[in-house]
Structure formats: structure tokens, C-alpha cells
Structure 1
Amino acid sequence: MSVPGGWKIPAVVALAAATSVGVYAVTRDEPAPVVSSGQGGVGQYPQAEELSLVVAEHSGLVEAYCTACHSLAPIVRHSGFTAEVWASEVEKMRESYGAPIDDTTAEQITSYLQKYYTVPVGEIAGTSKQTWSDPTGPTATGD
């Protein structure tokens, strides 16, 4: 491996240096710094957020198939998907991204998403940003 100035570093030395830095980052006592842009409007990305689906018929299918590739965030934190958008999103996951979902399961997933996550979303007063939708329908506690 060449570096600026014409020096050549054996790959094993470069690998050892990179490994040492990684081990230090994982084992140091102080926490990692919080990344925030302050006034810029962009803060730290949520690291470990507990998200869950409305517990109902087919919620297990959604959890099993959808979270094989991504978290629940795009489902529970969308920007106001309509029933038509959910249908096209499920189809996009199958056709464009190769999600291994058969027709019957796709219909059940789409039905669940349309029933519990098709929610009108209002604007936050004084901004152009929209609120995240809240799921509707029965919960695990039977509300």
C-alpha cells in the first residue's frame, strides 16, 4: 500500500494499525461524543429506539418479513402514507429489492399496513415539517 510521499506500507502493518484503532474505540472508558449540529436543525440520529407494531392479525408477518431488511422505523414513522402508497411500497420491496414475499403474504402485509398505518398527518405549528403518524387500532393491552 502506498501513502503520500511515496512510502510503502505492508498490508499487514496497515491492518494491524486499523485493528488497534478499532479495539481502542470499542474498549475506551469514556462514551463516544454526541454529534449535534446545534442551530442547524439536525441532531443526533436515534441510536437504539424501541419501536413496535400495533399487535393485530398479520402484525407478525410484517415484523418477520419487513425487518429482515430494515427496522420498523419506515413503517411506524412514515410521513402520511395512503392505502395506495402502502400497496406500492410492498410491491416495490418485492419487485425492486427482491423481498421473498409470495402474493398471499404480500396481500396480508399490505392489508395490515393499510388498516393500521394509513393515518392523516398534520403539520407542526410554525414549521414545514410534518409529525410522525401514530398507529391506530387495538393494542397489545386490548385498548
Structure 2
Amino acid sequence: MERNKDSLTIGELAAQAGVGVETIRFYQRKALIAEPPRRAGAIRRYGAADVERLRFVKSAQSLGFSLDEVAELLRLEDGAHCKEASSLAEVKLADIRRKLAELSRMESVLSGLVDACHVRRGKVSCPLIASFHAPDIEGRR
């Protein structure tokens, strides 16, 4: 049986979009998805466009975009603002690359500390714990 255009309850919308009901309500408060009116005192009904909008939001979030950035992308989603959308994506990409460099640095320092723990002999203090007391652990690799 085919459903009418706007026949989904909020629970059904949540299931189809792969999010929770409270997530939908939160997105409504953030104006990322519209809250449809109640029809003659009945429950609100949602449609396929709402499912797609929620999937858009989740996809953008999965690439690291904040909800404010997602709102901006939604404003540009008509397809006529590709340059602006690209600029937003370039800023996000630079941020991700900066975070990756920081994570790489952290991995290198922590790896050195773990190695130092494994070669520790005798009753000397733990190199990992001792490094956290030092003012600058980056120099200890």
C-alpha cells in the first residue's frame, strides 16, 4: 500500500531517516527541519521531503559540519550557490587537515611514551605518568 505524500508520524520519520525522535525535535528547534502544523488537533505528519532533509543533515554532520554549518548548506541547497558551498567545504577540509596533523602529533608523542613504558626497568617512575608532570611532553619522544 502506497502512503500519502505527508503521512509519516514523527516516529516513522525517525525510523526512515535513521535518527531518534528527540533528534528531530532538536533539529526543529534549530530550524533545520520544519515542524508541520497539526491538522484539526491530530498528530503532525511528515513526508518524503522531510526524510531527505534529515538525511542531508546527517550526511553533512558525518563529514564534520556543525549544525550551524549545515544550516548554511541548507540555505545554499538550491544548487545555484555552488561556489559558496565549495568555499564552506574548503574551510571544513582545512580544519579536518589541521585536526589530522594534530592527531598525528599526538599519536607520535603517545607512541613514544608507550614504548618508553615497555622498556622501563627497575624501580624508576613510569615514563608516561612522569611526562604528564613535565611542562612540555612534546619534547619527550
TM-score range, shorter chain: under 0.3
Task: Give the TM-score normalised by the residue count of structure 1.
Answer: 0.27
Tell me: higher relative CO, structure 1 or 2? Use CA pairs within 8 A at least 6 residues apart. Answer: 1
Q: Which structure has the larger Rg over C-alpha atoms? A: 2
| TM-score normalised by the chain length of structure 2 | 0.27
Which structure has more helix as a fraction of its residues? 2
